Structure 1
């Protein structure tokens, strides 16, 4: 979809003094897009110049260049007998204007004059910071193009928010999309040795913007091929690999959305170029039954080869509508996901963290996969294969938990020299794709008499989200399970860790706290080449175990039993490797309340009794400060929470069969002091 860009520079203000003799500036602007450059007239001897010219500077470009290239406005100071001095630069991405204009270009009801952006924009210099402002007008006009081999994704809107944005409603989910682009880093090019620091910084800044626009365009193309008109939960990262180059990555979840008309309150479809200017037909919503604990868990039978979500899943159970393909010859609309074809997806991942009620049926737990690689250059296909391995492993973990999707999915990297640690994490859940994506959260309530409902109705209870999706004896590993505190029938974990936000359906105490845990290990090999990568690979499992153990200890001492919005990050230095975990801790009513930690020691050890009492005092003080000592949470749950009875410290229990947090005591005084110090800081 080729287009036309028109730019008008009106004025500038608060410019710096560039001519010391007259304390003024002779300012002019260079407008550049791609390989074409225009210049304004010189406004002499003014720190607040005004260009009275009514001339529009025009650029006619093709569709791929329109999305990849940024609009650059360089503010210069004119010198007669020497080279012109650079004041600063304005770099504008045209993506917001392109998305708006692509929808307007398909409308034939009313004429339109293009998408316009105007106002005062700060002028930035990489050496001195903000150096004044420019008042500009930018207008983008697109020409209608029905070429099905187009290389632009104009019309696909991108949302970085973790949920469906306000004013929109989702009608379907199409699939997980990822893209990766590798490019040379301008800082490591040979020309960087002879150019000025300002030129080097600007070259890198423009290179990053071009990479960002290119990745977004390629993601939009994949979204359009799937039949989506919006991308929600868009995540973009840059991996700086030194001389190996720069890697731009993007992951997201494609959706078809309707934009709500604020005046009438009725839904109106945002037009997409795939429809050729026509309004899309409403897709029929299949009323499939919701997934529940009594049904056969999904996620057992899936393809093991097809990873491209644009390939139509096997089988004839897809819900498609007849009016999905327009006459304009645009991209073919693929069928959206539902509970029937979700099993066929290679990567059933969702990047959003907040979901409507009824979407999450059961939470299986947090799943994570890491890999250590050597960044030795190469094409993007090799790096894409690295991430594909992690996603396949993550999907296997979700299947082992009897879950059919991974939500709140994120990808992170840690790079030191040529050693790169790749991390992929998310929350394995059982989801219901046939729920109402636009339902508003309702006040959570529980039945007054537990067990009074049928088994089918029990899945609608407030506690069903916390029920484990697997049978107690058929789990992938030995897990501590307890009877649900709500329905008193199903099984729940004693501690719940999730990377997503807390579902509104789960009842919890009103207060939530932030928990942070840090673990570190010293590197035993040089930080570069294969020995360094092997050393990190050997230490990562132990580092994660220490981090997990410390996080659970802090969670227990705070009187909480669940962590949501959990984020874990690995940092690599020349001498050590660190792991950081942070999240929001809360007290769920469905999960059993945590018990204070107990010490394993001899009966005659007085120091152990003192530490045991200190542990209990700290545990009780934390519960009181967090509001977890109240029997009934903010929302009624049909009965008080089971709490520890009595205010005095319990007697030292040395039974090994009890559920206890064990603190090993050393006879040395230093070990005893460390134990007391650690208790006070939990």
Structure 2
């Protein structure tokens, strides 16, 4: 489960229908996500086109019990001497926002207009302008569910707020990898995420070849390469220097119209791959 923060930027509304034709309306908004609710300021005397310019934050657990998480914005008209009147409601669906945030470290529904609908009459009652962002965070052992939120958090030096988030950690990693040419390909959207993860694990020696299994105390019948049966099965050998791997590399490079290059390890191959963007766009399209 991912824990994160959703920020709702409530800007303004336009064309709200008046509930009382004799008096101007004083709109405010109830912003609701699951059991959490925030109330905006009352835009006194603003009529059908109120402005709020407020931001609200919500704690998010994703995935949760609701398969289709939603944000509700309920627009009300404040009355001093009677109960407040209902003007309409907007629903924003959040599933894709959360999924994208979990994958990329942050996600955003840019500021845009949403229709306000009177659910009792199913009629259009104006529009409201809202933006939503979602940022996953990591909770520490200091968090306690009984207090209903973050009680205390360890400060993260690269983030001005002192809170850990994925983007700040990514910047830290990139600063440590600035001398490694292959680092430029980790964020490439052209390369599927599972391929990038496999490349990263290969560089770190984290794929289950015979040598790695032996180091972890897992017995195998032999530590020799199962393809050539002549050398120890390391990640560099299996993926780069084994005769079978050489043949695969040769034909791929020939298909792409590249000079056949002999690599000695995975690191050299990754460094070379980081330069592929310098080739013409016809690369690999014979």
Shorter-chain TM-score tier: 0.3 to 0.5
> Which structure has greater helix proportion?
2
Larger radius of gyration: 1
Kindly indicate whether structure 1 or structure 2 has the higher relative contact order, using CA contacts under 8 Å at least 6 residues apart. 2
TM-score by length of 1: 0.21
